[in-house]
A = this chain, B = another copy of it.
Amino acid sequence: MSLLPSKSRLAHIVFESDDRASKTFDLSVLLLILGSLAVVILDYEPSLNKKYHYEFYVLEWIFTGLFTLEYLLRIWLSKRKLGYFFSFYGMVDLLAIIPTYLSLFLINTQFLVVIRALRLLRVVRIFKLSRYLREAETLKTALRNSRTKIQLFVGTVLTIVLITGTLMFVIEGPESGYTSIGVSMYWAIVTLTTVGYGDITPITPLGKFLSSVIMLLGYAIIAVPTGIVSSELTAVQGTIQSSGKKVCPTCKSRHLDDDANYCKYCGEAL
């Protein structure tokens, strides 16, 4: 049927996302991934599993069939088939369909299909030319700039956790639930991050006093990473503003004119 798109047109639809057909394709894949994730989550819900197990089973095979088709299509359309196969996305696409086939031979491997969540990463491509990548770029630059500060911070936190964990293990002991240094360190992390499950809590007055100090410390030092990221984000945006010039988010060229809509160095939309 000449109504079928040509192979090069199909490749455009599958690999690009700059016109209607290709955007529709990407959006359909996005919805299929979300739908398939919803089915797995609901299928593991004991009450729903009893009632609708058969429906979920059928749906899951429909999703897997469609993803298998898409996978074969991608291999067929790819110019460097082995390159795609061994690429990160190629492996993710394969891992996203294998668990369902595995579940024919093995019991209880169905939960592995949550790997499909990783496929969502690719879908960001739909918004390729949009503001998403630019913002992600700003975030990434700010996080990259604050990397060493955050490493120092994590090191400090882990040292505090080790020392307070050991102290609490000695002070409270196994009777209060602090059965080992490892468990005490778990408690210290639960406390320092202000999660505070309450599955292990200090009982002795000295333990309560030390806990209070750790909590106030945790309360104070939570300010540090937030401050780091805030100031980096302010700095990254400040660079853009204080230079009085636009900065290209893709190639980082500065000195663009204020009224430019595209970077004059790399042509990316600003």
| A→B interface (CB under 8 Å) | 37, 40-42, 44-46, 111, 114, 117, 120, 131-132, 135-136, 138-139, 142-143, 148-152, 154-155, 157, 159, 162-163, 166, 169-170, 179-183, 185-186, 189-199, 201, 205, 208-209, 211-212, 215-216, 218-220, 222-239, 241-242
For the A-B complex with A193-B194, A226-B227 known, give 5 more contacts whose Cβ atoms are closer than 8 Å: A41-B162, A114-B162, A139-B152, A194-B196, A223-B226
Shortest CB distance A185–B (Å): 7
Q: Quick one: given A131-B148, A235-B234, are A186 and B198 in contact (CB under 8 Å)?
A: no
A135-B149, A198-B199 are known contacts. Are A226 and B222 too (CB-CB below 8 A)?
yes
A45 touches B227 (CB 8 A): no
Question: Which residue of A138, A215, A218 has the most chain B CB atoms within 10 A of its CB atom?
Answer: A215
Chain B residue contacts of A181, Cβ below 8 A: 40-41, 44-45, 111, 114
- Could you tell me the distance between the alpha carbons of A215 and B192 in the complex, rounded to whole angstroms? 9
**Interface contact B180-A46, CB-CB below 8 Å:** yes
Contacts of A114 in B (CB 8 A): 162-163, 166, 181
**A174: min CB distance to chain B, Å:** 8
In the complex formed, the residue of B with least CB distance to A188 is B212
Cβ-defined contact, B235 with A241, below 8 A: yes
- For A155, the closest partner residue in chain B by CB is B120
A-B CB proximity, top 7 nearest: A227-B229, A195-B196, A231-B233, A197-B198, A227-B230, A230-B230, A198-B198
Query: Which of B117, B169, B194 meets A194, CB within 8 Å?
Result: B194
Residue with the highest number of chain B CB atoms closer than 10 Å, among A150, A170, A179, A227: A227
Q: With contacts A169-B44, A190-B196 known, is A227 near B238, CB below 8 A?
A: no
Residue of B nearest to A136 (CB): B152
Expressed in whole angstroms, the Cα–Cα distance for A220 and B199 within the complex equals 23
Q: A191-B195, A234-B234, A238-B241 are in contact. Are A37 and B162 (CB under 8 A)?
A: yes
Query: In the complex, what residues of B have CB within 8 A of residue A139's CB?
Result: 149, 152, 224, 228
Which listed residue (B37, B197, B219) contacts A193, Cβ 8 A? B219
